[in-house]
Amino acid sequence: MAQDVLCEVNNCTYWAKGNKCSAESIYVVSHKGKTANNNKETDCNTFEPGDL
């Protein structure tokens, strides 16, 4: 399992210094429940809006 999860979405509650993700787990889904063929067809459902 990945030790470091990087994230550039600095308005997410789980964004931490150094572009790290501080969430205990990450939930990624494909668009519309279909099989993803590339990263543009996925979303991070762990995202929660936070303060900038």
Neighbours of 35 (CB within 10 A): 6
Q: What is the pTM of this model?
A: 0.77
Write out pLDDT tens, residues 12-49.
Answer: 999 999 999 999 999 999 987 789 999 999 999 999 99
Q: Count how many Cα atoms sit within 13 Å of the Cα of residue 2 in the half-sphere of its side chain.
A: 10
Hunting for tokens 């459902």 — which residue is that? Answer: 45
For residue 13, give both structure tokens: 């509650």
- Residue 2 predicted with pLDDT over 80: no
Distance CA 28, CA 10 (A): 18
